[in-house]
Structure 1
Amino acid sequence: MDGLAEPIVDLETEGLDMAGRPKRGNRIGLKRWARRGIAVVLVLALIPAVLTFLYLPWFVHPVSTLMLKDLATFSGYDRRWVSIDDVAPVLANSVIMSEDGQFCFHRGIDLGELRGVVDDALSGEMTRGASTITMQTVKNLYLWSRPLGSVRKVVELPLALYFDAVMSKRRIMEIYLNIAEWGPGIYGIEAAAQHHFGVSAKQLSRRQAALLAVTLPNPIARNPAKPGPGLRRLASLIERRAGRSGAYVSCLQ
C-alpha cells in the first residue's frame, strides 16, 4: 500500500461518540464549568456594587487595593482620614483643574476625552490619558494598576458610571483625596501634607496644593517637596487655573 497509513483515532480516549461529537458527559461537564465561571464573574461584580453602598456614609473610611497590598506584604503605610471640610478648598480645586476639569459635569466618564483617545488610537497617534477622578477612585478602591491595564479599563468604565450614579461628587472627591497615593506608603491628603510640607491638609497654601496636585500622575517619581523645573512650571499653571476655577468646582460647594 502506497503512503502512510492514517492514524487510528480512539474515540473513547478523545471523549467523542461514534459520530465524532463530544460525549454527553463531557458536554455536561463543560456546561457546569461555564456556569461556575459565570457565577464567579457575577460575585466579583457584586463586590464593588455592595461596597459602594457601604461607602456612602461619611463615617466609613474606605481603603485602596494598594493599601491592602502594603498590609499584606507587611510594608505598612501612612494614611490619616480627614473630612473634605478639613481640606483646604484650594487643594480640591487644584486636583480638579489638574486631573479632571469636567469632574462636576460628567457622569463618571468624560465622553469628549474618551472619544479623543479612540480617535488618536485609530489614527495611530500616541493616546493621551482620559481617566476621570471617578475612574481613578474606583480603580484605587476595587481594581489593580498593572498588568492587564487594558482589561482593567474595560471593567473601570461601567464601575465609574455606577459609582457616579450612587455617590455625590463631594463624597467621591472626599474618598479620592483620602486614598490617593502621594509617595511610597503615603496615602491620603492629610498624610501627604504632613509628610511633604509639615502642615495639615487644611493649612495648605495655593502653591503647596498645586504641587501636590501635579504629583498625582506619578507620585513615586515626583516629589512635591523637591520639585524640578518642569514640575514647578506645571504647578504654576495649575495654581493659576485653580484661582479661576469658578463653576468648574461648583459641585464641591
Structure 2
Amino acid sequence: MRAIRFLFKLLVYFVLVTVAWVGLYALVPPPVTATMLLDENGITKEWTSFSDISPNMVRAVIAAEDGKFCSHNGFDTEAIQKAMERNAQGGRIRGGSTISQQVAKNAFLWQDGGFFRKGLEAYFTFLIETIWSKKRIMEVYLNIAETGIGTYGVQAGAQRYYNKDARDLAGIEAARIAAALPLPKKRAVNGASGFTRRYGNTIAARINVVRNEKLDGCIYK
C-alpha cells in the first residue's frame, strides 16, 4: 500500500508540474530546448512573435508538414497508419508526426528514444492541444524548429539564408526553408538542388492551396 501511495503521489506531482510547465509556455517563449543544448554547432536563434512571421512561412509548413493541422486534435491517425504500413515494409523509418507532436517533442522532450519517449510525446501533445491555441502551437513551432546547422527558428533561418526578416519571406523562400525542415543539417536552402529544389517548388505551389482551401483557417480568420 505504501508503494501504491508513493506512485500515486508521484503521478499527481508529475501531472501538476507538466501542466504548469505547458501553461507557462503558453505565455512565455521556451528559453531553450534539449535539442539546442545538445547541438555541438552552438545555437543561433531569435524569438519572433507570430505577427512578425510571413503568412507564406506558416502556409509553407502546413503544406509540407501537416495539411490537417487545423482539423486534427494533435494526431493525424491516417498519416500514422500510413507510416506504420510503410515502416512494416522495411527501408527508411518514416514518421507520421503532426506539427503539434513535433512541438511537444522539441519543446519538452528529446530527439531520440523509443516507446517511452513517444508516450510522453503523446501526453504533451494532448496538453498543448488542450491548453494552447493552434496559433500558439504554430508560433512555438516556427521559433524552435531547427532550420539549419546550429540555427533555430524561421527568423534565424531567414537571416541566415536570405539576409531578411521572417516577415519578408517570399513564397519560394519560405517553401525552401520548409523543404529543408526534416533534415536541416543535410538539405541546403541556399542553392538548393535536386530533391530539395523540386520539393521546395512543390511546397511553393501548395501555399496557394492552403490559402484558398482555408487549411490555415484556425490561424487566419
- 1:87-145 CA deviation, whole Å, 9 max, x = no partner? 11011100011000000000011122123334455xx3246321000000010011111
Show the 5 A alignment for 1:1-253: 32=3, 43-57=13-27, 60-62=28-30, 63-70=32-39, 76-120=42-86, 124-126=88-90, 128-146=94-112, 148-246=113-211, 247-253=214-220
Shift of 1:48: 3.0
1:64 touches 1:141 (CA, 8 Å); kept in 2? Answer: yes
Q: Distance in 2 between matches of 1:203 and 1:215?
A: 19
1:188 corresponds to which letter in structure 2?
A: G
> Is the partner of 1:192 in helix, strand or coil?
helix
Q: Distance in 2 between matches of 1:142 and 1:39?
A: 22
Q: Distance in 2 between matches of 1:226 and 1:43?
A: 50
- Please report the TM-score for the alignment, with normalisation by the length of structure 2: 0.88
Larger radius of gyration: 1
> Is the partner of 1:128 in helix, strand or coil?
coil
Structure 1, unpaired ranges of 5+: 1-27
- Please report the TM-score for the alignment, with normalisation by the length of structure 1: 0.77
- 1:166-215 CA deviation, whole Å, 9 max, x = no partner? 11111100011001111122111111100111111011111110000011
Q: Which structure ranks higher in relative contact order (CA pairs < 8 Å, sequence separation ≥ 6)?
A: 2
Q: Distance in 2 between matches of 1:201 and 1:232?
A: 20
1:214 touches 1:235 (CA, 8 Å); kept in 2? Answer: yes
Structure 2, unpaired ranges of 5+: none
> Is the partner of 2:148 in helix, strand or coil?
coil
1:48 touches 1:142 (CA, 8 Å); kept in 2? Answer: no
Identity of aligned residues (%): 33
Aligned length: 215
> Is the partner of 1:109 in helix, strand or coil?
coil
Shift of 1:80: 0.7
